[in-house]
Amino acid sequence: MKLYVVPTPIGNLEDMTLRAVRVLKEVDLILAEDTRTSGFLLKHFEIDTPAISHHKFNEHKTVQGIIDRLKSGQTIALISDAGTPAISDPGFLLVRACIENEITIECLPGATAFVPALVVSGLPNDRFCFEGFLPHKKGRQTRLQSLVGETKTMVFYESPFRLVKTLTQLAEVLGSDRQASVSREISKFYEETKRGSLSELAEHFSLHPPKGEIVLVVAGE
């Protein structure tokens, strides 16, 4: 009995590792964030392992059933729509439950959006903190204020629809001249990184609304 946590490409299908393909073919079951989205990936690599849904809306209800399957001797792989499961995606609850039930967990190395974004930002990366998505409403200002005085480089995930708002609010809290970097569509054809101050980036993306998945990297104090 073993749970495999398997990263999947965040853009370019060539980022799928040979090991990930092998594991997904060998396990008894695949837990997919969205079986329709993952269906394209599985079909591309000729993986015909059965897949069921495991996402943030049902994970509290499905965890025990998955643990029971694992205890019965099955091997199961967890994937998300893109990237490494449990990094701003479902997975934490299942991993914790496996630990509590002494079930072996193996996490394969692979695609994660914030690593390439941090590297190409040109900002210090010897020490950094991953903040994921900021709260949309409740708790947002509290989280922003908690970042005042942070000396490490900060990494955020953000929606293209909220990017300008986030850049503007960070400029108000941390200072308009704080250096930052915005990477979008990492590993895809239209991959792009813009660097500058928070105010400069807010102005740029106000005039040029972004598309795609975004990673925002902000310098520490």
Neighbouring C-beta atoms of residue 18, cutoff 10 Å = 7
48 and 89 in one domain? Answer: yes
134 and 88 in one domain? Answer: no
195 and 118 in one domain? Answer: yes
End position of a domain, from candidates 56, 74, 107: 107
147 and 60 in one domain? Answer: no
91 and 135 in one domain? Answer: no
151 and 103 in one domain? Answer: no
- Domain that residue 168 falls in: 114-218
119 and 102 in one domain? Answer: no
The H or E element that residue 143 is part of is: helix 140-146
Neighbouring C-beta atoms of residue 30, cutoff 10 Å = 23
Tens digits of residue pLDDT in 102-111:
999 999 999 8
Average pLDDT, the chain: 95
Tens digits of residue pLDDT in 13-61:
999 999 999 999 999 999 999 899 999 999 999 999 999 999 877 878 8
Which amino acid is present at 24?
A: L
End position of a domain, from candidates 59, 88, 107: 107
Token pair 């001797």 is at which residue? 73
End position of a domain, from candidates 107, 137, 170: 107
206 and 155 in one domain? Answer: yes
94 and 136 in one domain? Answer: no
CATH number of the domain to which 87 belongs: 3.40.1010.10
102 and 15 in one domain? Answer: yes
Tell me the CB-side half-sphere exposure of residue 39, using CA atoms within 13 A: 6
Question: Are the C-beta atoms of 214 and 155 separated by less than 8 Å?
Answer: no
143 and 56 in one domain? Answer: no
118 and 176 in one domain? Answer: yes
Tens digits of residue pLDDT in 48-86:
999 999 987 787 888 999 999 999 999 999 999 999 999
Of 58, 59, 50, 155, the closest CA to residue 98 belongs to 59
- Give, in degrees to the nearest 5, the angle at Cα 154 between 149 and 155: 160
CATH number of the domain to which 125 belongs: 3.30.950.10
Q: Is the pLDDT confidence value at 142 over 90?
A: yes
Fill in the DSSP letter of residue 79.
E
22 to 42, 162, 215: CA distances (angstroms): 11, 38, 30
Domains identified in the chain, total number: 2
21 φ, ψ to 5°?
Answer: -60, -45
- 136 φψ region: left (φ > 0), alpha (ψ -120 to 50), beta (else): alpha
